[in-house]
Amino acid sequence: MKKNRLGKSELLVSEIGLGCMSLGTEEGKAAAIIHEALERGVTLLDTADLYDAGLNEELVGKAIKGRRGDVVLATKVGNRRIPGQDGWAWDPSKEYILSAVKDSLRRLGTDYIDLYQLHGGTIDDPIGETIEAFEQLKREGVIREYGISSIRPNVIREYVSRSSIVSVMNPYSIVDRRAEEAVLPLLEERGIGVIARGPLASGALAANRTPVRGVLDYELSELEELRKQLTQLETDGRSLTQLALRYSLAHPAVAAIIPGASSREQLLQNLSAAEVRELTPEELRTIRGVSKANQYALHR
């Protein structure tokens, strides 16, 4: 598995990581998927305190026990559960981040986090205070690096200009190309690594699935037609899944992609993209010609 440097940091991440949100809540099954991923060269595991109310972090922590040095462990913060209330409240305050990290460390069974990410954010947040919290945790050795997980260009620009983030997690796929126009060029210029989530668009670009609904900017019929056109590029035995994952990896700003997997079969299909050749410039032009160059309408 090829490894890439995450931004300007010392973190080396496998080009295909594992998005752990889809693992489910069964400990044995989740551990088996994680162990298989590690055996096949995956080093980047991405979770969040939000997933299954912290249970996902616990499952990841148990699965990597004794193998902590093999993993670049990424988790997220910012969504706060308020006792007696349903759902989560957004809280990017310094006080909350410094408190929440302790709970994540306990659930993960580790004394440090490789990549701590703000799980969202708006332009009205106390951004300076949020940055102070991450910088303090970095000085204390509680985290090695920090980044943000955001879909808002205006928020991304603020952190790029005011912080030492090494990464931005952003949705990026053949059917969601918004980042190409508003995010990727900036991050490439500044040497900040992109972790692309949703490269298969919740299965819309998976080879063995039949879409039942449309996705961003695509009605179901348009999505079906796009999949049909993409099959023309399935040369050398390359599947639609592999094609879609290689597309997200093709942009020079992207350090890693994190497709999820809820079964061993899905995991192996995803990881097989590491074994096929990269897309040629001509193939990339073809894909961009048959897909939509989406753009952000809000939070620009």
User: DSSP letter string over 7-76?
Assistant: TTSS-EEESB-EEGGGG-S-HHHHHHHHHHHHHTT--EEE--TTGGGGHHHHHHHHHTTT-GGG-EEEEE
Mean pLDDT lowest for which of 59-68, 75-84, 178-187, 288-297?
75-84
**Beta bridge pairs of residue 149:** 119, 169
H or E segment and range at residue 159: helix 153-162
What would the two tokens of residue 166 be?
């090494």
What is the homologous superfamily of the domain 3-201+247-277 according to CATH?
NADP-dependent oxidoreductase domain (3.20.20.100)
Task: Say yes or no to pLDDT of 26 above 90.
Answer: yes
> What are the residue boundaries of the structural domains of the chain, listed by start?
3-201+247-277
Q: Tell me the CA distances in angstroms from 63 to 33, 103, 107, 140, one per residue in order.
A: 9, 18, 12, 26
Residue 111, CB-side half-sphere exposure with 13 Å CA sphere: 2
DSSP category for residue 234 = -
Given this model, what pLDDT does residue 84 score? 75
- Global confidence as pTM: 0.95
Q: Which two tokens stand for residue 158?
A: 């603020």
Q: Rounded distance, CA 93 to CA 65, Å?
A: 31
Structure tokens of 91? 């809280």
Give the number of other CB atoms < 10 A from CB of residue 249. Answer: 23
For 111-121, the pLDDT digits (tens) are: 999 999 999 99
CA dist 265 to 95, 113, 191, Å? 42, 29, 35
List the catalytic residues: 51
Which pLDDT score is estimated for 273? 96
**CB burial class (10 A; 0-12, 13-18, 19+) of residue 181?**
middle
The answer to whether the beta carbons of residues 293 and 181 sit under 8 Å apart is: yes
The reported pLDDT for the residue numbered 85 is: 75
Q: Which residues pair with 12 in a beta bridge?
A: 5
Phi and psi of 191, rounded to 5°? 70, 35
Which one-letter DSSP state was computed for residue 233?
Answer: G
Q: How far apart are CA 109 and CA 277, in angstroms?
A: 38
Segment 45-102, tens digit of pLDDT:
999 998 888 899 999 999 999 999 999 999 999 988 877 777 788 899 999 999 999 9
User: Whose structure tokens read 């989530």?
Assistant: 197
pLDDT at 230 over 80: yes
